[in-house]
Amino acid sequence: MYALGFALFLLVGLMAFWLLAFVLGVAVPMWLTIGAVEMLRPKRLTEDEE
What value does the mean pLDDT take over residues 1-24?
97
pTM, two decimals, is 0.66
- List b or e across 31-44, with b for residues whose CB sees 16 or more CB atoms inside 10 angstroms: eeeeeeeeeeeeee
**pLDDT for the residue numbered 50:** 57
Q: How far apart are CA 50 and CA 47, in angstroms?
A: 10
Residue 22 has pLDDT above 90, yes or no: yes
What value does the mean pLDDT take over residues 34-49?
83
